[in-house]
Structures are given as C-alpha cells and as structure tokens.
Amino acid sequence: AVGRFSLTRDPRAPKELSNEQKEAIERDPQLIKLCDRQRSLHKLIERKCGSVLKSKGTALHREYTELGDTIRAEKQTLHREAFEEMRQEFFATIDTIEIERQLLGFSISKELKTDDGDKIQFVFEERARLARNLFRLSDCRTEDQHELYVRRVQTIQDWVSLCSLREGPRKRRVSSADSGVDIAFDGIIDADTFPISCPGTQCLFCLGDSQLPHSARIYSFSRPDHLRRHVQDCHLRYLDPDALLWCPHPSCPDVLDGIKDFQGHALLVHNVYV
C-alpha cells in the first residue's frame, strides 16, 4: 500500500482513539454488564463488611478483585480492537484518497503535516534533504537538467554521510521555514567553539563524538553520579586502563597516561569529575 512506503510510518495515520470512540467502548453491552455486577457486589460487601478494605481475605473480596481485573482486561481488549480497526480502515482507503488528490492536482508534500499540528522531525540535515529529494513530485522531462543532476549528486552524498552518523537519545527541535518540516540539528559543528571548561555534568566522550547530533554532544546530565555511571558503562569500560588516551574533548590536544590520568585531567582542565 502507498501509505506504508514511508521509512517509519505515515504521519497522518491515527495515533489514538477519538473521544466518541472511547465513549462507544464504555457503552459496550458486555462491559456494562460486568460493571453492573461489580457495583452490585460492592453494595453487598458494604452491607456485610462495611467497606471493601475491611473485606480483605474474604471470598467476596477475592471475587470483587477478580471482577475488577476482568473489567480492565475487557476495556484493554475493546480499545485494542477499535484502534486496530481504525488503522486498518485508514490504510485501506488512503491509496484511493491520494490518487484522487493527485488527479485533482493537489500536492501530497503539503500533507506531511499531521492532524494534531505535529510535523515530521529529522535529527540530521542529510536526512531532511533526502526526504525532500526522494519524495518530491517532479517531472524529469520538464525540469532543468542541471538542477536535476545537482540534486542527484547531493542525494548520493547525503546517503554516504548518513552511513557515518548516528542518532543520540536526546533531540532538540529547530524549525526550518523553507522546507516545511522540523529538523533537529544545529548545523555544522566547529570544534574550536567548544569551551575547554565544561559544565560539570557533561560527557567529554560524547562531546568529542562527531557522529552524534549536536544536541546529544552538548547534553548535560541531571546529576554528577548519572554522568559517572554513563561514562563508566558506555566509555571507560571498553578502554585499557594503562594505555595512552587522547583527551576526547574536541578542543583539547592532550594525551593522557591511562584512565586515572584522564580522570584527573578531566577534573582539573575541563571541570568534569568522572
């Protein structure tokens, strides 16, 4: 289906049930029957024991608890079935809708914006350009050949560049007005712009990793112990404790004599306790 050709998902596909659909689930006959039974059992427990809390350990309390679990499971099942049916209907009809829009002369690219106002987000500029170049509506018979050639070369270069990049766990949205999409990157990184003295909870290894997006490189942990655990689990554990170590800070040329020397250097020079 055309709606499934996206690299991740169709941004227009429904992500949750509407209020009307949720209300319809609450009106399900089987669910209403179970809820009525639970209310009746609740009244019986109050008459005999005073409250549900005081009835703990009795057969009535066990039946009441099991009935509550059954109601929750039934709601989850109805919710899942309604959600799957809604998405199946969307993907079953989106092809016809897209074809009709093309026949009417409407641009599909303008439909990237989702119903809730969110936009497609890209961590890297290369991926944003690829999305524009690979999925744009154009006719090679009428388009300028030089521009077409330049775009093809740029596409190949972006594919190659993406092979040496990786996303970090944190993203920061930066709006791109000319592309119609949100791009979560900060442009070209100049190592000379990184100050030698860093925030005390910043990872020097991530800061010096040019394959990470800028937001992941400059990320600061909420607590010093979180930083130390991250550095130990993700970086230091893979290094020889006694081997020479280049300082990972992008603006620092120092070579350290093992991990212990690096830890002292990080604290004295970069203000980072690892």
**Residue-wise DSSP of 66-82:** HHHHHHHHHHHHHHHHH
| C-alpha to C-alpha distance for 137 and 110, rounded to whole angstroms | 11
Decide if 211 contacts 164 (C-beta within 8 A): yes
Decide if 218 contacts 190 (C-beta within 8 A): no
> Would you say residue 109 has pLDDT above 80?
no
pLDDT of residue 12: 74
DSSP structure class, residue 138? -
Tell me the pTM.
Answer: 0.39
- How confident is the model over 124-148, as pLDDT tens digits? 788 788 888 877 766 666 677 788 8
Confidence of residue 4 (pLDDT cuts 50, 70, 90): very low
**Residue-wise DSSP of 14-47:** --S--HHHHHHHHT-HHHHHHHHHHHHHHHHHHH
pLDDT of residue 167: 65
pLDDT of residue 92: 83
75-to-42, 71, 87 alpha-carbon distances in Å = 20, 6, 18
Q: What is the mean pLDDT of residues 12-18?
A: 83
Confidence of residue 3 (pLDDT cuts 50, 70, 90): very low
